[in-house]
Amino acid sequence: MKHVVIIGNGIAGVTAARHIRKLSDYDITIISAESDYFWSRTALMYVYMGHMKLKHTQPYENWFWEKNRINLLNDYVKTIDHASKKVVLDKSEAMSYDVLIIATGAKPNKFGWPGQDLEGVSGMVSQQDLAYIEKYTKNINRGVIVGGGLIGVELAEMLASRNIPVSFLVREEEFWDNVLPQQEASMISRHIREHHIDLRLRTELKEILADENGRVKAVITGDGKEIPCQFVGLTAGVSPNIEMVKNSGIETKRGVLVDEFMETNIPGIYAIGDCAERRTPAPGRAPVEQVWYTGRMMGETVAKTICGEKTEYLPGHWFNSAKFFDIEYQTYGRVWNKLKENEAEFYWEHASGKIAMHFVYDQTSKKFLGVNTFGIRLRHEVFDRWLKQEADIFTVLSGLREANFDPEFFKRYEEEIVNAFNAAHPGKEVVLKGKKSIIEKIFG
Amino acid sequence: MKIIKSIGLLLFIAGFSIFISTFFSANYKLSEDVLSAQLGDAAKIESFKEHADFIGESITSNFAFVAKLDEVFRSVNQEKLSQFGISEPEIDKLVNSNQGKFDISTISLFGDDETGQYKQKTFKDYGGWLDGREFGSQEEIRSQISNVVENIKKYQIVNEKGFDKYKIKDLKYSITKASSMGKVSDSPGLFLLLTYVLCIVGALMYILPKIEDGPPGIKNNGIFHSAMKNVGWLGILTGSFLIVFYIVLYFYPEYMTNWIIMVDPVSQFLKGSDAGRFFLYGFIYTLCILVMGVRMIIKYRHSKYQIVRTFSVMFFQTAFAFLIPEILLRLNQPYFDFKNIWPLDYDFFFDNELNTLMANGSIGVFMLGWGIALIIIGVPVFVYFFGKRWYCSWVCGCGGLAETLGDPYRQLSDKSLKAWKVERWMIHAVLAFAIVMTGGVLYTYWTGSSELFGVSSYDVRSVYGAWIGAGFAGVVGTGFYPLMGNRVWCRYGCPLAAYLGIVQRFKSRFRITTNGGQCISCGNCSTYCEMGIDVRWYAQRGQNIVRSSCVGCGVCSSVCPRGVLNLENADSDSRFSEPLLIGNDGVKISS
Ligand SMILES: Cc1cc2nc3c(=O)[nH]c(=O)nc-3n(C[C@H](O)[C@H](O)[C@H](O)COP(=O)(O)OP(=O)(O)OC[C@H]3O[C@@H](n4cnc5c(N)ncnc54)[C@H](O)[C@@H]3O)c2cc1C
Ligand code: SF4
């Protein structure tokens, strides 16, 4: 029987394994050096904050693996010997494979800052990082977080949940404005400050200082200021985990290079998830996409290919979501931080300054291109349909009621949004489709 | 703010400590007046007095006092049994006088004096059927006669001359309550203030400042670090207290008379008579829902669904479960909770209940019709349109307590597949038990015969009442909040939930919709599902959640950080969608 070996028990590797099991009878082994069982990295913050225990973050019960004949091995893969089709392990004997999937994920970036390896400095990706952060944030007076992305804001929320004062160093003009348009970036920056985070924009890290025991005692910022602190979180992005692949004859660049079937230059060896890099990206997509959803989709796709139905990885329209403290964010289609050529936008923000929607569409054809939504949940299915149908912005706005995914009784803003659009775009008037429900009439 | 919270906590602890201490601090004095008022029957008063050497004496603990009462009842019964019961030598004689065949006239050997006549009469009543019967051996005759004698003792003598076990239970409680002396019974109003009111004020002072604990949003920080909410020492202590409280309430109310006396003023105010233990229970229950309802509203102040729903359970408990029934009593109408539905309301069809309703003219008949309409029309129709949530998390009292007092413990429910299996067996077994029990009750009601297939319908109902009604719904249902989560009863035991659930599973417009491919498998939804549904299992494969147990509390939707879940009512055919994760255009496979 064919033996499929998967390195990495993250969402990419596990999804691949599950689907291979559905489609075939192959022997399957998943190797990971991080944890015995698959867990949701995305829930790391909630464990620290006491919303969950580690076991709650495991999407499948422990019996699941045996029942589905998926072997789990806790070990570290040192090298891949593709000539003899073996992976060399740290603790056990080398393991032979017929098909190999590299799904080793990513690790935190370190940009060579002086002091970046001191005691009390940590990235935030793995269970080991979680334990480290837990240990080094006990009874401290201040933590400094370097790098304003999604993981950084999560770490800020984590420390704040334990009433640890946080200084948050962000290189950009506003929080995450390399991804979010300026309006939203400044809205989120405000909200971060509302949670008493000392958010320092346009501020870089210069150096981390140690005390006499080699532990962090302060950081020096780019503008020469010293911030005393006992913990430093490095959250300036992640990069593919490819150390072990680098000298194996498998081609790498930023990540493990793969074609449209997620296959590397060595036949029978695939790479998926955070560690993979497409030689030619799918239309409209980046070569390296490090989110949960893409890992999962690559896993689904590669399983089909391995089980005999060669399938190209074709992610559909982009979507993503996140939560910045209390503000939920979803996006469908593409809203770039700066309008691209011939793009037009419509931005609406509620008076509370915490609810907003940002639509982008084609200036000439009026084709809808993407939406960012904050504080209002939107239906993925409806937006995916509009994007596929190349609906125009008028269709989208007039259909907003159908696209709302907020719980019952929540205040609805569609009328306000459409009115604002009409006021800003005299001419063709958008009429909101559908009727108010009784609940909406009573509760607004 | 912190100071107010701390003072609140102190006040609560003070009130609670006083409450506990009153349990141990009562003084009892049994007076002749109390005795005659409670016993009524002159002969029984006499025999009680003969055995009670503590009348007029002051006794300083409820345990001692109740023990003395127990002793009196025991010795009265013992004396009466030896006086009026047929003795072993008499049985011997009777056996010897009847060879092979029983002749009832032989009972004249009991004699003609007063006790002899009594023995003859009772033997005739209980053993008249033996007359003329033939027996293969003397052993058989002896065993039949002994049976008759035992039955006379058990059912006749203790009842007529002494005190049977039901009477003893009632009397222990009522005599103790009436004999209670000391500070609490002198000034119940003061103690009402010092305990219940102090606890409420303290709790509110602790809870209200939470509105300042940052912008509205999910407030689950530290739950699994908490000694209270993660089965730490405080949780175990709280659970133990609740369990003991329920056991005392249901099975030993005579020990908690001081707690009941304190709410006499409230009871007097509402219905013009003193409180009983179930008034006390209803009172505390309602307070818990109201105070912890305020907490719930503050905690989930970002979610209008939670706010409206919490107001709803607070309203139904206060008005329907607590006030209206008491007011009905005041108006000389039958006690009736218009939102309680059989089989949760398991005694709805008991003969005494039916008789009370029937005896109350058109209003009684209306109540009966209302109750039946809820069962056969209300449940299916409302569940069809809204799911079982219309009842379980909007109206029901058990649900109301679970959603308010129980909210801090929702994360403790077991999410494993095994627990789901156990749950399905158990809850449907209880439903079957409730139906069989009620069937027996109605059989007895219509035919007048208590035996059905060799089992007494009275035994069945009392087993149900003790094990399910009190033990499961009460002791386990609430006492286990801090140990196994806030919906143990609703999930494993409630027969009405089983019925609502069957409708919800097979014919309803309700479902929890998952939002395309947005789930990140974080697990918040499953963790905070009080019913132990592994919500994530469905969400991460893009499948609607249609589960009979879902009470529609909406907390999964609230805690989901990615906006994946939504409680919706829509076309009932579209519920069972194929699992579908939007996003991957290259493959269309179900996960
Ligand atoms: C804190 C945090 C929050 C996030 N939140 C979100 C979010 O909200 N939404 C979203 O879309 N994405 C989020 N992401 C990104 C998302 O988690 C990743 O894209 C996803 O987990 C990648 O999955 P993967 O399977 O490719 O790799 P991973 O999950 O990283 O799994 C790789 C595994 O392989 C193991 N491994 C690596 N090398 C070896 C070796 N040589 N031998 C043995 N084992 C090895 C690693 O230890 C690891 O266990 C978040 C990431 C982090 C860190
Ligand atoms: S809480 Fe939301 S994102 Fe997390 S597992 Fe549940 S549905 Fe998925």
Q: Output the domain CATH number for residue A409.
A: 3.30.390.30
Q: B165 and B193: one domain?
A: no
Of the CA atoms within 13 Å of residue B319, those in its CB half-sphere come to 9
* Per-residue DSSP letter, B573: G
Q: B79 and B153: one domain?
A: yes
Find the domain containing B54 and state its range. 37-181
Best residue in B1, B223, B224 for a mutation probing chain A (most A CBs within 10 Å) = B224
Q: B3 and B56: one domain?
A: no
pLDDT digits (tens, 9 = 90+) for B46-98: 999 999 999 999 998 899 999 999 999 999 999 999 999 999 999 999 999 99
Residues in A closer than 8 angstroms to B525, CB to CB, are none
CB contact under 8 A, A314 and B584: yes
CB contact under 8 A, B527 and A194: no
Q: Residues near A175 by Cβ (< 8 Å), separated by ≥ 6?
A: A148, A153, A185, A188, A189, A192, A199, A201
Confirm whether A311 is domain-assigned. Answer: no
Q: Please give the single-letter amino acid code of residue A208.
A: I
Q: How confident is the model at residue B590 (pLDDT cuts 50, 70, 90)?
A: low
Give the Cα separation of A231 and A149 in Å (integer).
18
* pLDDT of the residue at A180: 98
- Mean pLDDT over B266-283 rounds to 92
Give the Cα separation of A386 and B233 in Å (integer).
54
CB contact under 8 A, B587 and A300: yes
Pocket of ligand 1 (CB under 6 A): A 7-13, 31-34, 41-42, 44, 76-77, 103-106, 124-126, 151, 154, 241, 244, 273-274, 290-293, 295, 322; B 520
Q: B84 and B210: one domain?
A: no
Tell me which of A89, A97, A129, A150 to substitute to probe ligand 1's pocket, judged by most ligand atoms within 8 Å of the beta carbon: A150
Structurally, chain A folds into a number of domains equal to 3
**A54-75 burial, b if ≥16 CB within 10 A, otherwise e?**
bebbbbbbeeebeeeebebbee
**ipTM for this prediction:** 0.96
Confirm whether B326 is domain-assigned. Answer: no
Ligand 1 atom 2, closest CA? A42
Q: Please give the single-letter amino acid code of residue A204.
A: E
pLDDT above 60 for B38? yes
Q: Considering only alpha carbons, which residue of chain A is nearest residue B214? A: A195
**Interval between CA B449 and ligand 2 midpoint (Å):** 56
- Dig out the tokens for B591 from the structure: 């996960």
Structurally, chain B folds into a number of domains equal to 3
Q: B41 and B176: one domain?
A: yes
Phi/psi of residue A230, nearest 5 degrees: -115, 0
CB of B523 shorter than 6 A to ligand 2:
yes
Confirm whether B152 is domain-assigned. Answer: yes
Residues in B closer than 8 angstroms to A53, CB to CB, are 224
Confirm whether A299 is domain-assigned. Answer: yes
Confirm whether A126 is domain-assigned. Answer: yes
Give the Cα separation of B503 and B423 in Å (integer).
17
Best residue in B558, B585, B588, B591 for a mutation probing chain A (most A CBs within 10 Å) = B585
Atom of ligand 2 nearest to the CA of B518: 3
Q: Which is nearest to A99 in space by CA: A176, A197, A29?
A: A29
Q: B196 and B130: one domain?
A: no
Asked if A89 and A31 count as a contact pair (C-beta separation under 8 A), the reply is yes
Confirm whether A314 is domain-assigned. Answer: no
Tell me which of A18, A45, A129, A274 to substitute to probe ligand 1's pocket, judged by most ligand atoms within 8 Å of the beta carbon: A274
**Interval between CA B326 and ligand 1 midpoint (Å):** 60
CATH number at residue A164: 3.50.50.60
- Mean pLDDT over B361-387 rounds to 95
Distance from chain centroid for Cα B443: 25
Q: A244 and A338: one domain?
A: no
pLDDT digits (tens, 9 = 90+) for B565-575: 999 999 888 88
Contact map slice: A 128-187 vs B, CB within 8 A:
161-162
* pLDDT of the residue at B577: 78
Q: For chain A, give the number of residues.
A: 444
Q: B55 and B177: one domain?
A: yes
Distance, in angstroms, between B419 CA and closest chain A CA? 12
Final residue before a domain boundary, out of A183, A218, A236: A236
Q: B46 and B139: one domain?
A: yes
Final residue before a domain boundary, out of A214, A236, A258: A236
Q: B529 and B558: one domain?
A: yes
**Interval between CA A58 and ligand 2 midpoint (Å):** 12
pLDDT above 60 for B589? no
Find the domain containing A344 and state its range. 319-443
Which ligand lies nearest the alpha carbon of B518? 2
Mean confidence (pLDDT) of chain B:
93
pLDDT above 90 for B476? yes
Q: A42 and A83: one domain?
A: yes
- Dig out the tokens for B163 from the structure: 């005190």
Residues in B closer than 8 angstroms to A331, CB to CB, are none
Confirm whether B246 is domain-assigned. Answer: no
Confirm whether A216 is domain-assigned. Answer: yes
Q: A302 and A326: one domain?
A: no
CB of B519 shorter than 6 A to ligand 2:
yes
pLDDT above 90 for B100? no
**Interval between CA B539 and ligand 2 midpoint (Å):** 7
CB of B192 shorter than 6 A to ligand 2:
no
Q: A251 and A355: one domain?
A: no
Confirm whether B134 is domain-assigned. Answer: yes
- Mean pLDDT over B460-481 rounds to 93
Give B122-172 as a DSSP string.
HHHHHHGGGTT-B-SSHHHHHHHHHHHHHHIIIIIIHHHTS--HHHHHHHH
Per-residue pLDDT of chain A (444 residues; tens, 9 = 90+): 899 999 999 999 999 999 999 999 999 999 999 999 999 999 999 999 999 999 999 999 999 999 999 999 999 999 999 999 999 999 999 999 999 999 999 999 999 999 999 999 999 999 999 999 999 999 999 999 999 999 999 999 999 999 999 999 999 999 999 999 999 999 999 999 999 999 999 999 999 999 999 999 999 999 999 999 999 999 999 999 999 999 899 999 999 999 999 999 999 999 999 999 999 998 889 999 999 999 999 999 999 999 999 999 999 999 999 999 999 999 999 999 999 999 999 999 999 999 999 999 999 999 999 999 999 999 999 999 999 999 999 999 999 999 999 999 999 999 999 999 999 999 889 999 998 877 777 766
Distance, in angstroms, between B553 CA and closest chain A CA? 11
Residue A58 forms contact with B (CB below 8 Å): yes
Give the Cα separation of B282 and A350 in Å (integer).
45
Final residue before a domain boundary, out of A236, A262, A279: A236
Q: B160 and B42: one domain?
A: yes
Residue A54 forms contact with B (CB below 8 Å): no
CB contact under 8 A, B524 and A51: yes
Confirm whether A116 is domain-assigned. Answer: no
Residue A410 forms contact with B (CB below 8 Å): yes
* pLDDT of the residue at B591: 54
Tell me which of B515, B518, B519, B520 to substitute to probe ligand 1's pocket, judged by most ligand atoms within 8 Å of the beta carbon: B520
Q: A232 and A245: one domain?
A: no
Asked if A384 and A333 count as a contact pair (C-beta separation under 8 A), the reply is no
CB contact under 8 A, B224 and A53: yes
